[in-house]
Amino acid sequence: MAAETRLPNDQWDGGIAEGEWKPRPRTVVVGGVEWLARMSDKARAKAKGTIGDYIYPCPADKRLLQALELEPEVFMDIATKASNDDDVVAGVKAKSPTMQSGTFSFSMNTK
């Protein structure tokens, strides 16, 4: 079996890949929620002023935020106060009406 290949940005807060900061890949899933890891990296980077050419909230971020029924600023507050992915997930579950009601539904494969 081949060893897992990890990129420098496959970690909390992303990392330097190809000479520039990049958020975690879109394939990283935390708390069972697609895109959440990437969006949290970008939200923290925007708050720090280190986001570079990336955009928060981009159209995909807005889709997830809409599914969570959270405003971009509320999510940024959750992401910047979190110490790890578990904290992000807990914060989202505490603030998201759709998570609380059990009606949350999101997939990057649907538009």
pLDDT of residue 48: 94
∠ Cα 82 14 95 (to 5°): 30
**Confidence bin at 16 (pLDDT 50/70/90):** confident
pLDDT single digits (tens) 38-70: 999 999 999 999 999 999 999 999 999 999 999
Separation between Cα atoms, residue 107 and residue 98, nearest integer Å: 14
pLDDT of residue 105: 96
Rg (CA), the chain: 14
Give the domain ranges of the chain.
Answer: 15-101
